[in-house]
Amino acid sequence: MIKLSRGRYRARMAEGAADIEAAQRLRGKAFHGGGMDADGFDPVCDHVLVEDSRSGALVCCFRFLPLASGGEIGRSYSAQYYELSALESFEGRMVELGRFCIDPDLQDPDILRVAWGAMTAYVDTQGVELLFGCASFSGTDARAYYDAFAMLKARHLAPRRWLPRVKAPDVFRFAARLRRKPDAKKAMLRMPPLLRTYLMMGGWVSDHAVVDAQMNTLHVFTGVEIASIPPARKKLLRAVAG
């Protein structure tokens, strides 16, 4: 379904148990400092691997959970943490992007570029109309990200008709609590790379962050309506995907 190569990196779909185990090992390294990261969603997802074409090393991975429409959103990973009934009326095909990680020892921006090319190819071939997931900030101290959260409040909250409501027991309600004007430079420096890309595509977020002590993260629900992506951004993404 996905097979693309750009420069040093190539992206492809996982083809069996060994590929999924490799992804779980990379996730364990990225999220827990070692070991394996696995859950009950792995068997029902499509997994994407980004590899170094020179060495064959796995440098990035993520997974997709395809949903026929918003009526199936209760099956998603995100639904464990967010009350998503507002999205049940979304009529188009949806896909949840999850467990995205890059090898923490690597800093090459081309890895993220190839990953987004693979995401774009998947979205286009599947006819997806909404891409969504949980975008994570490292650590659980919200104070480190006040400018980033203030920026999300000021510019990127979900439309009211789709806005997720609180479900998790421990959340930081940044839209209600923060009154500061964001420092744009500090905000973007503290914004996770994956979330920055979502926002450049016109993505929107929940009005609160979930405090996930198990994963040692703060995460926000993030959605991108494919029809709303700026044409210039679509052109760039499809150039990589093609």
Spell out the SS3 assignment of 104-116: CCCCCHHHHHHHH
Q: Which helix (H) or strand (E) holds 100?
A: strand 94-102
C-alpha 3 chain-centroid distance: 20
Query: Over the Cα atoms of the chain, what is R_g?
Result: 17
Q: Is the pLDDT of residue 184 over 80?
A: yes
pLDDT exceeds 80 at position 33: yes
Residue 74, SS3 per DSSP:
helix
- Interatomic CA distance for residues 236 and 239, integer angstroms: 5
Alpha-carbon span 232 to 241, nearest angstrom: 14
Section 38-50 average pLDDT: 98
Helix 109-126, helix 231-241: angle, nearest 10: 100
Domain CATH number, residue 77 = 3.40.630.30
At residue 242, the pLDDT reads: 75
Q: How many structural domains does the chain have?
A: 1
| Structure token pair of residue 184 | 């744009």
- pLDDT, mean of residues 121-140: 96
Residue 239: per-residue pLDDT: 86
pLDDT tens-digit series, residues 90-104: 999 999 999 999 999
Residue-level pLDDT at 241: 81
At residue 57, what are phi and psi to the nearest 5 degrees?
-70, 140
pLDDT the model gives residue 2: 82
Structural domain of 108? 3-241
pLDDT at 77: 98
At residue 195, the pLDDT reads 96
Quickly count: other Cβ atoms within 10 Å of residue 53's Cβ.
13
For residue 55, what is the DSSP state?
T
